[in-house]
Amino acid sequence: MARHPYGPQARKKARNRTYTVLALLTVVVVIAFMYGPFGADAEDKSKAPENNSGIDPNMGADVPDTNNTIVAFEPELFEPNIATLSATEDIEPEPLPEVVNMTEPEPNLPAVAIKVETFSSTEPNPEADTLIAEAAALINQGSSGFLEARQILNQTLRMPLSTKQKEYVKAQLSELSNRWLFSRNILPGDPLCETYRVRPGEVFETIGRKHKVPYEILMEINRISDPLKLQAGQSIKVIHGPFHAKVSRSTFKMDLYLQNTYVRSFTVGLGKPGRETPTGLWRLRPGGKAYATVWRDPDTGKLYQPEDPNYPLGSRWMALEGLRGEAKGREGFGIHGTKDPDQIGMAGSRGCIRMYNGEAIMVYNMLVDGLSQVEVTD
């Protein structure tokens, strides 16, 4: 006997087909919400637009922020950015920055005029990371750990480092220099600084010469503005010099060292094409330092007095004499301030090393003529 087309079995099959269709529709809707225009991927894309710059967004810490340039020194002042401390006071460190932009443009100087230091190594050095972490732990102990941290970081700076590692190490050493060098504080056992008792008849100049540093830096770190106030029997802080400098032509950077210990960096201007600053080893010429000196333009023969509005040497002059490499036997070159601060970080001089006027004063107060060496590299 034939089944009725609308009988119980037919209705059962129809219900099964309906359930199957509904199940398939449910799966499609779930997939649409997961991967379609309403899913989590779409929400993430709205929050993070596609990066077409070619720059890894996770590498932002390596890119200096030129809009947050730190101005550390005024043109005629030399004040470290920490409180004045006595020789017996302990120092508790503030958090140290990961990256410090050491360029110091004068007001309204366009950031594009400053060239940023780069390094050839891009791969992080795991051994350096271990040393950096060890130094950070010592710094967190307070002043008792500063000397060992300085030694470890200075050793790390000589290793192959990534850009981020090298910038970080320099930032830490620079910040530490504010605490052990540019203050009246003396860390126990520091081979670079110590207490000195003034002898009868001694003046700052003779004490500085004895310790191979300019007398100006001794007056500054001891907060003594009048040299006549120095008295026999007085205890002052002295530095065991000399200071030296290393200049990189490719990065327009000058790194300053006390003996072999890194202190801090400065952005400089160097020789323009055809008149490049010669590489090699230089020394500050004996008697070659001057607050201001008459200068004759070698191209035009025009004589400039320090009071002239277009006087090109700025705040200080430090004459150099060549000892080795391309520099050997060369004269007429020097480190000096400038009337053209917009050319710092660029190749625009006749071969001299230009500095911002405030930083030229700072370096003048640390480099000693006849002793301090300046190495210029590519």
Give the per-residue SS3 of 55-122.
CCHHHHHHCCCHHHCCCCCCCCCCCCCCCCCCCCCCCCCCCCCCCCCCCCCCCCCCHHHCCCCCCCCC
Q: Is residue 37 part of a domain?
A: no
- Angle (CA) 140-143-147 rounded to 5° is 95
Q: Are 70 and 102 in contact (CB under 8 A)?
A: yes
Q: Is residue 204 part of a domain?
A: yes
**What is the mean pLDDT for each group of 10 consecutive residues in the chain (378 residues)?**
45 49 45 37 35 29 28 30 31 31 29 32 85 96 95 96 94 96 95 97 96 97 94 96 97 97 98 96 96 82 85 92 96 93 93 96 97 97
DSSP 8-state symbol, 351 = S
Q: Are 348 and 340 in contact (CB under 8 A)?
A: yes
Q: Is residue 88 part of a domain?
A: no
Q: Are 278 and 351 in contact (CB under 8 A)?
A: yes
Residue 17 has a pLDDT of: 53
Say if residue 212 is in the same domain as residue 329: no
CATH number of the CATH domain containing 317: 2.40.440.10
Say if residue 317 is in the same domain as residue 330: yes
Give dist(CA 356, CA 269) in Å, integer.
9
- Structural element, H or E, at residue 347: strand 347-349
The domain boundary, picked from 180, 208, 228, lies at 180
Residues 6+ apart with CB under 8 A from 137: 145
Total number of domains constituting the chain: 3
Q: Which tokens belong to 298?
A: 């070698």
Say if residue 230 is in the same domain as residue 295: no
Kind of pairing between the strands at 270-271 and 347-349: parallel
Q: Which residues pair with 284 in a beta bridge?
A: 320
DSSP 8-state symbol, 312 = T
Say if residue 255 is in the same domain as residue 209: no
Q: Is residue 201 part of a domain?
A: yes
Say if residue 201 is in the same domain as residue 175: no
Among residues 334, 336, 356, the alpha carbon closest in space to that of 345 is found at 356
Q: Is residue 7 part of a domain?
A: no
Q: Which residues pair with 253 in a beta bridge?
A: 248, 267
Q: Is residue 299 part of a domain?
A: yes
First to last CA, the chain: 103
Q: Which residues pair with 247 in a beta bridge?
A: 254, 376
Say if residue 280 is in the same domain as residue 367: yes
CATH number of the CATH domain containing 232: 3.10.350.10
Please give the residue range of the domain that contains residue 202.
Answer: 193-239
Say if residue 226 is in the same domain as residue 329: no
Task: Decide: helix, strand or coil at residue 123.
Answer: coil
Say if residue 172 is in the same domain as residue 200: no
Residue 22 has a pLDDT of: 54
Residue 304 has a pLDDT of: 86
R_g of the chain computed on alpha carbons: 32
Say if residue 249 is in the same domain as residue 373: yes
- Does the pTM exceed 0.75? no
Q: Is residue 223 part of a domain?
A: yes
Say if residue 230 is in the same domain as residue 171: no
Say if residue 370 is in the same domain as residue 258: yes
Q: Is residue 146 part of a domain?
A: yes
Say if residue 252 is in the same domain as residue 235: no
